[in-house]
Amino acid sequence: MPEEKDRDAWLIEWTTAQNNWAQAKSDLATAVTLLDAGIYYACVFFAQQAAEKSLRAACIVRLKKNPRGHNVIQSANALHAPLEIMNAAAELNADFLTARTVEAAEGVPAQLYDREMAERHLEAGRAITEWVRLLM
């Protein structure tokens, strides 16, 4: 019985990993669309979300644990990511809140980001998502 319970629990986690991976790819595509539309703050947010969900999927598959929270630096570190991926995670980490809330942004998020910033965040999200694809 315990083996069956463990197998069922792992199947749930595996499904969670697959769902996170699928959503990460959709979030990255959304970030590209938002960049093209000139909606830079939302591009930044969705780039961060793509990275977060990619890393979450990898942590579930590789480490057998589902990270809590939104800290992409911690998730990348747990996976022993190379320096360029750690740098990409650092680029994205702070903007999870800043791109969404006026309190964290201390202003209007839609007014804080320009195309260059959005492109930089999108590239960081792409780099992490591609690294995870190769990892898995």
Taking the domains of the chain in order of start, what are their residue ranges? Answer: 2-135
- The H-assigned helical ranges of 38-107 are 40-58, 72-78, 83-93, 95-98, 102-105
Q: What is the pLDDT of residues 106-127, one digit of tens each?
A: 999 999 999 999 999 999 999 9
Which two structure tokens, joined as six digits, stand for 135? 């990892």
- Each as own residue / partner, the long-range contacts of residues 5-11 (CB below 8 Å, 24 or more positions apart, any chain) are 10/64
pTM of the model: 0.92
> CATH classification of 2-135 is 1.20.120.330, yes or no?
yes
Which pLDDT band, with edges at 50, 70 and 90, does 1 fall under? low
Q: What is the pLDDT of residues 11-22, one digit of tens each?
A: 888 999 999 999
Q: What is the pLDDT of residues 35-85, one digit of tens each?
A: 999 999 999 999 999 999 999 999 999 999 999 889 999 999 999 999 999
| Cα–Cα–Cα angle for 116, 69, 56, rounded to 5 degrees | 75
Q: Which residues contact 43 (CB under 8 A, 6 or more apart)?
A: 31, 32, 34, 35, 113, 118, 121, 122
